[in-house]
Amino acid sequence: MRLVVVGCSGSVSGPDSASSCYLVQADEGGRTTSVLLDLGSGAFGQLLRYAQPEDLDAVLLSHLHADHVVDLASLDVYLRYGPGAPHPRMPLWGPEGTGQRLVDLVGEPEEGLCAYETHTVAAREPIRIGSLQIEPFAVLHPLPAFAFRITGPAEDGSGTRTLVYTGDTDSCEGVTAAAAGADLLLSEAAFEEGRDEVRGIHLTGRRAGALATEAAVERLVLTHIPPWTSREKVRAEACTAYGGPVDVAQPGVTFAL
Ligand SMILES: [Zn+2]
Ligand 1 centroid – CA 187 distance (Å): 13
Q: 71 C-alpha to center of ligand 1: Å? A: 15
Cα-to-centroid distance, 189 and ligand 1 (Å): 12
Confidence of residue 111 (pLDDT cuts 50, 70, 90): low
Helix (H, G, I), strand (E, B) or coil at 4: strand
Q: Residue 39 above 70 pLDDT?
A: yes
Q: Sorting pLDDT into bands at 50, 70 and 90, what band is 112?
A: low
Q: How sure is the predictor about 108, in pLDDT bands with cuts at 50, 70 and 90?
A: confident
SS3 of residue 119 by DSSP: strand
DSSP 225: B
What's the mean pLDDT when you consider all of the chain?
96
pLDDT at residue 165, rounded to an integer: 99
Q: Up-side HSE of residue 3: CA atoms within 13 Å toward CB?
A: 26
CATH fold for domain 2-256: Metallo-beta-lactamase; Chain A (3.60.15)
Q: How far is ligand 1, taken at its centre, from the CA of residue 168, in Å?
A: 5
Report CA(30)–ligand 1 centroid distance (Å): 36
Evaluate if residue 107 carries a pLDDT over 90. Answer: no
Instruction: Calculate how far, in angstroms, residue 1's C-alpha sits from the geometric centre of ligand 1.
Output: 26
Q: Output the CA 36–ligand 1 centroid distance in Å.
A: 17
Residue 106 has pLDDT above 90, yes or no: no
Least reliable range by pLDDT among 73-87, 97-111, 155-169: 97-111
Annotated domain spans of the chain: 2-256
Query: Ligand 1 centroid vs 190 CA: distance in angstroms?
Result: 10
Residue 9 Cα to ligand 1 midpoint, Å, equals 12
Contacts 24+ apart (CB under 8 A), 79-87: 79/53, 79/54, 79/115, 80/114, 80/115, 82/53, 84/54, 87/54, 87/115
Q: What is the pLDDT of residue 182?
A: 98
Task: Average the pLDDT over 169-185 and give the result.
Answer: 98
pLDDT of residue 244: 98
Q: By CB neighbour count within 10 A (0-12 exposed, 13-18 middle, 19+ buried), where does 160 fall?
A: middle
Q: What is the pLDDT of residue 101?
A: 92
What number is the average pLDDT over the span 164-180?
98
Q: Which helix (H) or strand (E) covers residue 99, if one does?
A: helix 98-106
Distance from residue 65's CA to the centre of ligand 1 (Å):
5
Measured in Å, residue 244 CA sits from the centre of ligand 1 at 27
The arithmetic mean of pLDDT across residues 216-228, rounded, is 98
128-140: average pLDDT: 98
pLDDT score at 14: 95
Return phi, psi of residue 239, to 5°. -70, -20
Using the predicted structure, report yes or no on whether residue 210 has a pLDDT greater than 80: yes
DSSP state at residue 51? -
Q: 159 CA distance to ligand 1 centroid (A)?
A: 33
Q: pTM for the complete prediction?
A: 0.97
